[in-house]
Chains A and B, each alone.
Chain A
């Protein structure tokens, strides 16, 4: 079956660093995507990992360990606008299927 586990909520301070963890179990794993979703809006693409290791894109980095079924999203130099839900989405369960977890609601405060 498919299972994705992320913390429900996190809080952090402006300017700080936060790491959002995700563990997953899915059949036919092909990679893992991270999306950001502000309340009432559609998700926007942040990053994806296919191979083990760290992918860095500006203030955002994502890490993947396929053997452990584990990924994390690292956000640096947090800004107030980073307050949003962050969705971990493995690609699997069939061709091109993104499987979304409930997401982690991040609140950034001054």
Chain B
């Protein structure tokens, strides 16, 4: 159990276009999902915390109008990178938390590699 999927696995797009990434918890309900970004050989950086039915909480320095997050159901959260630019090229990873306690484990999706030309 505790499988999280992401779609697409990789995407290449032109500068100025928008890209949507889906994160799904396949066999459990996730009240909270998280979105991370990871540049090569660097640590995972939390972008935002997404709670079902409410607005996402963004980390300092993350533009909420550029990275749109929607958590429409207990099994699906989406991240839309609007007007993508080459500096947005990165590995985007979501995680889903099973349970509502602070110690409930986060299970990660396989990640989406975004390349903006």
Question: Which A residues are closer than 8 A to B by beta carbons?
Answer: 4, 30-31, 33, 35, 40-45, 48, 50, 87, 91, 95-103
Contact count band on B? 20 to 34
- How many pairs, one residue from A and one from B, have CB atoms within 8 Å of each other in the complex? 57
Docked complex Cα distance between A30 and B105 (Å): 12
The answer on a CB contact under 8 Å between A98 and B110 is: no
CB closest chain-A residue, reference B110: A42
For residue A100, give the distance in angstroms from its CB to the closest CB of chain B.
4
Main secondary structure of the interface of B (DSSP, over half): strand
For residue B111, give the distance in angstroms from its CB to the closest CB of chain A.
4
Q: Which residues of A contact B43 (CB under 8 A)?
A: 4, 87, 100-103
The answer on a CB contact under 8 Å between A48 and B49 is: no
Main secondary structure of the interface of A (DSSP, over half): loop
The answer on a CB contact under 8 Å between A91 and B44 is: no
The answer on a CB contact under 8 Å between B102 and A87 is: no
CB closest chain-B residue, reference A95: B102
> B75 on the interface (CB 8 Å rule)?
no
CB closest chain-A residue, reference B104: A96
Checking B36, B44, B105, B107 against A48 with a beta-carbon cut-off of 8 angstroms, the contacting residue is B105
For residue A3, give the distance in angstroms from its CB to the closest CB of chain B.
12
